[in-house]
Structure 1
Amino acid sequence: MTNTRPEPTDAGRYDFIVIGSGSAGSVLAARLSESGRHSVLLLEAGPDDSSLWFRLPMGFAKLYANPRYNWMYDSAREPALNGRSLYQPRGKVLGGSSSINGMMYVRGNALDFDDWAAQGCTGWSYDEVLPYFRKAEDQARGADQWHGIGGPLKVSDQSRPELAEAACAAARQAGLPDNPDFNGATQDGFGYYQMNTHKGQRWSAARGYLWPARNRPNLRILTEAIARRLIISEGRVTGVAFDRAGQPHLAHAGEVIVAAGAIASPQLLLQSGIGPAEELRTLGIAPVLDAPEVGRNLQDHTCVQLMFRCTRPITVNDLANNWLRGAWAGAQYVFGRRGYFSETGIYVGGFARSDATQDRPDIQMALAAWSVAERSASGARAHPFSGFSFSPEHVNPDARGTVRLTTPDGRPEIRFNFFQTDYDIRAMTFGIRLIRSICEQPALRPYIASELQPGADVRSDDEILQFIRDKAGSDIHAVGTCRMGGDAASVLDPRLRLRGLAGLRVVDASVMPRVVRGNTHAAVVMIAEKAADMILADAS
């Protein structure tokens, strides 16, 4: 049988090619094209972000399981979680996962970045990255020593609904300090999360960075363009082969920047012959560079939902179960950009330390104004009554996993290896007990009719461990699979250049040597801001 694949179309030559338009790729495309001196090609595998669901903050529930805009990965079966496979949504659209995520603006702990520097990542200490957090930010509260104004990324406060106020009071009664800013002087404590929203609309990386840049003559944005392999010649990455509308294309550049995320970036490197040589040979891929750590060092936070039946009709469930309430909320949004649809329903939470040996918080908490009766491939179904969820998240995991290929061109195998150490189990157990302690306080107790999950009868350590194995999962904060470092084994050097081949950088969550203690979007934007400065400095 003859090969009928058509000859590739020449897509041109550029100073920079950026692969992926997510939290990092959007920043890079905008910053590298900003001066007008450099030509930039941005490739995005998914469509544009024109759907109204990308404006509506509550719309992330509709995008959580939409295959048009979401890669909808599944992990390999996790042995310590009763053999369950864990759903892994990832954005496949302009803005990437910043277009479908929960929009929480949390940078991580200051000591996280000092740890990066101590591990050989020169230039990545907290004092050195803080200017890039500030540069990216347009903080609604104004500028101070931690925050900036005028940047592309809008950061806003939320409303203060009754249930959220009760949770803050209960946390105070449980002994947690108030914290008005998790990205300021300290991370410990409880309070309101800020969000990447503005005037009732989602503010993705695409909205903040790409929209103002997209008509620049030196920036070309191609959507529904799937990168297949990197073009490598004489020890240098010179371009990328990609498919668009069923047609193969080749594009060339002075430098290629892979910004496809912690799953797709190592996948593309492996498909291009960059990775563990013996593993590649068994797949029939000729090794170009033996880089054993590509796809290793996968880290993610873990979480588990405690769910409660609420005594009052003040939750998102009530919109789903009563069309009049839903219509009223819709009208509030249409005519005033306010109400339930203008926010995510994730209002409050905080950070705590599971034991005195921790030098910073290792447990994050988040209260969501909904509870879920059932999840499926098509999404989630709310309980037919008022309910809310209150989740502990372990943000300092021991677990290390992998992203591997099992076929040369298939979907990658994602393996986390969660909950295989005593510390990971102890920390999550502490988190569950802490949530329960907050819920038992006088300020929140009147809002709780019953504990739906795991249920009041689940009390002992063994019973809680069974609950963890039955229900815990990924918090969708995967990082680390193309880590940077000062050691020769690291995939990238501290300027995010691939070790062993010229002309290639990786810039996204995969470069983190260790996951930050908090949501990852803000840190990835910072990484891309700093990377853009390094790339431009090296180019000059």
Structure 2
Amino acid sequence: MKMLDRLRRGAGDDDRPWDYVIVGGGSAGCALANRLSADPSNRVLVLEAGRTDWKWDVFIHMPAALTFPIGSRFYDWKYESEPEPHMNGRRVYHARGKVLGGSSSINGMIFQRGNPMDFDKWGATPGLEQWDYAHCLPYFKRMEHRLLGGDAWRGDDGPLQLETGPASTPLFRAWLEAGPQAGFASTSDVNGFRQEGFAVFDKNMTRGRRLSAARAYLHPVLDRPNLTVRTLAQANKILFEGNRAVGVEYRRGRRTHTVRASNVVCCGGAFNTPQLLQLSGVGERDHLESLGIDVVAEVPGVGENLQDHLEVYVQHACTQPVSMQPYNATWRRPFIGLQWLFRRGPAATNHFEAGAFVRSNDDVEYPNLMFHFLPIAIRYDGSSPEGGHGYQVHVGPMYSDVRGTVKIRSTDPREHPAVRFNYLSTEDDRREWIEAIRTTRHILSQPAFAPYDGGEISPGPSVETDEEILDWVRRDAETALHPSCTAKMGPVSDPMAVVDPDTMQVHHTEGLYAVDASVMPAVSNGNIYAPTMMIAERAADLILGNEPLPPDHTEVYRAPDAGRYMS
């Protein structure tokens, strides 16, 4: 009951200003709540529009149950893109967590930092010199507790406990053998010295349970008297006096509340942070005025620069009964659930236990393709093709030059903004997609898979030419759920920059900050949960005025050339 009391405490309006109001109890918001409230003199309030992540909720905490929350109105805000002009006009579904912990409570639990050169590219941007890899590495290490142990590149005493692998079944072994057979390297740790290559992956899990940002950062400190969390609290707008943020108006149930604050921190993610800023009068002037919103600060980059990872599933039938397909049968679920209560069995893993990062062409300096291997043929929604046993890889380009937008349609905060990604809209993106499919087929045709390969199910042998591949991608591709960059960091001299990289303050405002995946200047080449948490860790020091951790110049792998490794 202690947690329930903490979540409910102070449900009415507040007379005394809070030091920090964090809008969004997702990945970044949970980490910030922990770090900002560590000083007992700081009063911190978290407003989360979703519900709490009850400890008994099996669909959140059982790793293999990840297909159930996605698409459920109880767990998922259920976004859709606008009709995508280069994807046959179809809308692309986009799951976002509707629960404390945000999308970290419903995601695939794959923990990948991105390549060190991602952050060196950030640091090469004028004004972002303090966001290169050397400055980010100490914060990656501070947040990690890798159960295999730390080293020069990895942390071992942070709040995020990370399991690795095991990826020991026959199909995982085939995948790890096929990489070198295809001419690619192996690596011992994609988050360590060398990302490039085939490897066993880390997972944000511990003892067979999901470890969301809420469970890692927020729940352990809920007994702090200076920290309050309010769930089911939908922010309507930020309140301003001039250009200074002084509070938040939010709706809880049928009542509208206001809270006063010395500082407001937007942590709603790549969709909701630009939405809230625009609702509050921070954004592009013509857009806001067209909706009757008074402009508080003209920041035209709000909602621009949207980036994501699109992916497809290349699926094969399996000739031997070594896949996870039998465990997908409905009648087995009670027995699997019983095993999970003892932290054992197929429900105690996310099954994304191995994959790879490779380069598909001669022009890229570091991997532009990411693979997740699964020993079953299945989609995110839990559906699987006919044919029984199978295996698959998820693949897609990692740093596409496609850019999209997030724009509110009205002044109603409950209405989803218009989201357009513009997938497949550039020549380079289309070229890399063709390379991605051909590279995948090259890997899956290696001798390691010969004992198991029952033929390609998807896209299938009828898809062979470049245009056939692109047509299939247009029809079948799904988002990898990595929206980012819609309130990017950058100097005020950059008209598209939204957030000051040295303070995390929104340009042309005071007392207003943004900290989440929206502030990335460019998406990293992997799942974005880990870099989002790193941003939150570093942002906490910047907002508090603490001396940032000193840069760590530990050497990392940099390819001696940009040549293709494929034979």
Q: Deviations over 1:377-432 (max 9, x none)?
A: xx442235222221212101110000001222121010001111121111121111
Higher mean Cα deviation, 144-153 or 157-166?
Answer: 157-166
CA-CA distance at 1:175 after TM superposition: 1.2
Q: Give 1:189-268 correspondences, 5 Å limit.
A: 189-268=197-276
Q: Give 1:1-400 correspondences, 5 Å limit.
A: 9-10=13-14, 12-50=16-54, 51-119=57-125, 120-159=127-166, 160-321=168-329, 323-324=331-332, 326-335=333-342, 337-372=343-378, 379-384=381-386, 385-400=388-403
Aligned equivalents of 2:534, 2:341: Cα separation in 1: 33
Aligned equivalents of 2:464, 2:171: Cα separation in 1: 25
Q: Deviations over 1:33-64 (max 9, x none)?
A: 11212110001101111112221111211111
TM-score, normalization by structure 1: 0.95
- What is the aligned partner in structure 1 of residue 443 from structure 2? 438
Aligned equivalents of 1:36, 1:43: Cα separation in 2: 19
Q: What SS class does the counterpart of residue 138 from structure 1 fall into?
A: strand
Q: Deviations over 1:55-106 (max 9, x none)?
A: 1111211111111221110001111111110011011111101110001110
CA-CA distance at 1:12 after TM superposition: 4.5
Aligned equivalents of 2:417, 2:316: Cα separation in 1: 36
CA-CA distance at 1:287 after TM superposition: 1.4
Where does structure 1 differ by over 4 angstroms across 4 or more consecutive aligned residues? none
Q: 1:200 to 1:538 in 2, by over 3 A?
A: closer
- In structure 1, runs of 5+ residues without a counterpart are 1-7
Q: Which amino acid counterpart does residue 383 of structure 2 have in structure 1?
A: R
Q: Which amino acid counterpart does residue 126 of structure 1 have in structure 2?
A: Y
Q: What SS class does the counterpart of residue 447 from structure 2 fall into?
A: coil
| Contact 1:9–1:248, Cα closer than 8 Å, also in 2 | no
Q: Deviations over 1:162-200 (max 9, x none)?
A: 211111111221111111211111211111111001111
- What is the aligned partner in structure 1 of residue 498 from structure 2? 491
1:424 aligns with 2:432: no
Aligned equivalents of 1:101, 1:481: Cα separation in 2: 20
CA-CA distance at 1:328 after TM superposition: 4.6
- In structure 2, runs of 5+ residues without a counterpart are 1-11, 548-567
Q: 1:166 to 1:538 in 2, by over 3 A?
A: closer
- What is the aligned partner in structure 2 of residue 469 from structure 1? 474
- What is the aligned partner in structure 1 of residue 562 from structure 2? none
Q: 1:487 to 1:231 in 2, by over 3 A?
A: closer
Q: 1:313 to 1:13 in 2, by over 3 A?
A: farther
Q: RMSD of the alignment, in Å?
A: 1.6
1:450 alignment partner, one of 448, 455, 460:
455
Q: Which amino acid counterpart does residue 129 of structure 2 have in structure 1?
A: T
Aligned equivalents of 1:10, 1:189: Cα separation in 2: 53
Aligned equivalents of 1:143, 1:538: Cα separation in 2: 25
Q: What SS class does the counterpart of residue 469 from structure 2 fall into?
A: helix
CA-CA distance at 1:341 after TM superposition: 0.5
CA-CA distance at 1:131 after TM superposition: 0.4
- What is the aligned partner in structure 2 of residue 415 from structure 1? 420
State the aligned residue count. 526
CA-CA distance at 1:340 after TM superposition: 1.3
